[in-house]
Amino acid sequence: MNRRLMVLSAGLLLAGACAKAERSEDAMAETGAATVSATADPGVEKAVAVYRGIQANQAAAESVLTANGLTAESLDSLMYEIATDSARAAAYANAIR
């Protein structure tokens, strides 16, 4: 389970990094406000909280999930939802840096 979470997180980081590399400076300035507001997305905030909790104590991964109202399966679903939306994926990637 920990490995799957770390792989998903790494995938989202790479997706966010690739998306940023392809944007021009002007495009990044125009989308800056959208990225900031996407960070307020409750799903992204929950995913970030889980990431940070597991990063801080990998042995307590199940407790971190439970504290955030998630199971391993619901976390997978949430991460998939975030990954399929480029704005949410970028917000997640920025938040976990």
State the SS3 of the chain.
CHHHHHHHHHHHHHHHHHHHHHCCHHHHHHHHHHHHHHHCCHHHHHHHHHHHHHHHCHHHHHHHHHHCCCCHHHHHHHHHHHHCCHHHHHHHHHHCC
pLDDT of res. 18: 52
pLDDT surpassing 90 at residue 14: no
**Mean pLDDT for the stretch of residues 84-90:** 96
pLDDT surpassing 70 at residue 61: yes
> What is the pLDDT confidence band of residue 29, given thresholds at 50, 70 and 90?
very low
**Mean pLDDT for the stretch of residues 78-88:** 96
pLDDT of res. 34: 43
Percentage of the chain beyond pLDDT 90 is 59
